[in-house]
Chain A
Amino acid sequence: MQAAGSSGGLAKRDFAPWADRNSQPLLRLAGVSKRFGAFTAVDDLSLDIYQGEFFALLGPSGCGKTTLLRLIAGFEQASAGRILLDGVDLAPVPPHRRPVNMMFQNYALFPHLSVAGNVAFGLKQERLPKAQIAERVADMLALVRLDNLGRRKPHELSGGQRQRVALARSLVKRPLVLLLDEPMAALDKKLRGETQFELMDLQRRLGLTFIIVTHDQSEAMTVADRIAVMDCGRLMQVAPPAEIYERPSSRWVADFIGSVNSFEGRVGDDGTCIDGTALGRLRVAAKIDAAPGAKVWVAVRPEKLRITRGAPLPDPRSARENGAAATLVDIAYLGDLSIYRLRTDSGLLLQATIANTGRLGDGAIGWNDKVWLSFPPEAAIVLTK
């Protein structure tokens, strides 16, 4: 495990400009706020986004992520703070002059124009020669695999095709930053999965900077190099997906991303264990960054809990582990994995997920069985807020 603190540590690919002190951000938001009357949609938010990055804004609805996107596009003016693109302050630049493009949630395709007409719209505003426009439109339609649908009208297309037209239209001007507002919200689940990989592939091939807004955490984790988790107009954590999941910065983030079991307790005297939780004393892997006696929370992901029949054998490895006796109260069988709901003898309700690698019924644990649940110190996430 790499040292906590190097935020490039859990990057998805060999790409972590945010960890490099010398790299300059492409887009810099400095203390940006947006207020609508008494309501603050974006609250003193600062953020750097780098060239070639696939960045996701993730949060519950109403957290201000779409407002942030609209601020970058220029449809809203910031109440405070500055937005710099390539070092240039965007505040005086109207939307039609900004070198960013947006893919709208409802796609906003022009219903009176053909597919090719929609894609060509942006290029026509640049007064490019006709032949060049035709060539770039054809290239772009080929890229999104709509080559032979150029003459269709948007209402003659399927939802997935419309989505690709919207993507082609927003990419054809080669924007410095492409903004995607819930680009896959209208697609069915299967198509969404395929489109996510296509979108990643497209972004890498074109080498463009993408900022995607989504409320779907699996979507954000699939496509993004870094995720900004937002709530109430503020950034809760900005980090690569694996780091957000494995090392959430707060209980809110731990709870928002995936499922989590959490136990409240106090830091022990030696600083490597937590006393007084519902499971008794819990051991953690690293020294806790809090004074002994301070109130902290231990979070454990459901898939990191182990369930066995009876207490484990007294071998040195398991002696280190945290564990407790529990009763199985519910099983949700999902095919690839099962979710087990357990009640500890102290009355706490926990959740564990276990991959169904064996065939069903191979010595399976059943309802009301007495079990022993355990997890290694490394699986414990210590949260101080």
Chain B
Amino acid sequence: MTKQARMAKLKPQRSFMAKLVVRIPYLWLAAFFLVPFLIVLKISLSQTAIAQPPYTPVFDFAAGWHGLASFIAGLSLDNYAFLGSDPLYFLSYVKSVEIAALSTLMLLIIGYPIAYAMTRTPRRVQAVLVLWVILPFWTSFLIRIYAWMNILQHDGPLNQLLLALDLVREPPVWLSTNTAVYIGIVYSYLPFMVLPLYATLEKLDESLLEAAADLGCPRWKTFWLVTLPLSAPGVIAGALLCFIPAVGEFVIPDLLGGSRTAMIGQTIWTEFFANKDWPTASAVAVVLVCLLVTPIVVFQHQTMRGVAND
């Protein structure tokens, strides 16, 4: 066989493999994001029924074309109209966004100095510090939240400390308050804020800071004029990594927050499991996804711009 013939035989196979490698992430997304989302979308257009599954219509393969027509006719937007009619849902969304946004802000204020300080230490120490930041992941998330329940309870370590230091007369109530939810979210999400910030700050060219000083800029001003603008990609990445999951957070508000802290995750849970109203729960979830797509698109845009700049 000539070399050309061998090459010709090899070529299509290789390009098929190359295509497959590129498509694996897409296949993954299709199988584990798109298909489940379409199922949820379909359920959100259905009506509740006392049946198995607890909604109708259900697509009947045996009925053929006629079945498909009646299936489509059975779908409606009633659940979305219902979401609009009951202020409970709207308030729940607002509450979730408010808690997530405020938590993200607090995470930035706490996380930025941590990440910045990490980059100022010698290289060997930096590796250890990164390990420390991700150390909490070595313990189950649920256990850590239960630990916070213990810390925050009426006669828990926090109140004992406050009393011992004479900072309070009466032990304050922490559990079942918004404050506890904020503490829980800020504590749990801190690594997701610190790591992207650290990654961008660590890449910051030291000579840019020297150039700023050389041009007459004092250190504190250099931070605002050079360091902060150049760490914007890290700020955005960290903020989105915290904000997006925080909006849909269920465990933290459920365990640390009170009944008044009804975040959207809890609302969905109640609809699914307490009310057995899958269609309404699905509609709530679909609206949440649509709400979160906006910041994700912003993030994507920012990342693409970053790639173009490199």
Contact = CB atoms under 8 A, between A and B. Distances in A.
Main secondary structure of the interface of B (DSSP, over half): helix
A188 to B, nearest CB: 22
Contacts of A102: 210-211, 214
A119 to B, nearest CB: 10
Contact of B212 (A94, A106, A121, A153): A121
Given A111-B230, A112-B229, A125-B216, A95 B210 contact: yes
Given A96-B213, A155-B309, A108 B218 contact: no
Given A104-B207, A155-B309, A96 B214 contact: yes
Nearest to A156: B309
Interface string B200-242: 0000010110111111111001000110011000000000000
Contacts of A100: 214
Nearest to A181: B207
Interface string A114-137: 000000011001100000000000
**Contact residue range for chain B?**
10 to 19
Interface of A: 73-75, 94-97, 100-102, 104, 106, 108-112, 121-122, 125-126, 153, 155, 169-170, 173
B305 to A, nearest CB: 11
Interface of B: 205, 207-208, 210-218, 221, 225-226, 229-230, 309
Contacts of A111: 230, 309
B212 to A, nearest CB: 7
Given A101-B214, A104-B211, 13 more contacts: A73-B214, A96-B215, A102-B211, A106-B207, A108-B211, A110-B208, A110-B211, A112-B229, A112-B230, A121-B215, A122-B216, A125-B215, A125-B217
Contacts of B214: 73, 95-96, 100-102, 170
Contacts of B230: 111-112
Nearest to A70: B210
19 contacts: A73-B214, A75-B210, A75-B213, A94-B218, A95-B210, A101-B214, A104-B207, A104-B211, A108-B208, A110-B208, A110-B211, A111-B230, A111-B309, A121-B212, A121-B217, A122-B215, A155-B309, A173-B215, A173-B216
B210 A104 contact: yes
Given A104-B210, A104-B211, A112-B230, A96 B309 contact: no
Contacts of B216: 96-97, 122, 125-126, 173
B230 to A, nearest CB: 6
A47 B309 CA distance: 43
Nearest to A106: B207
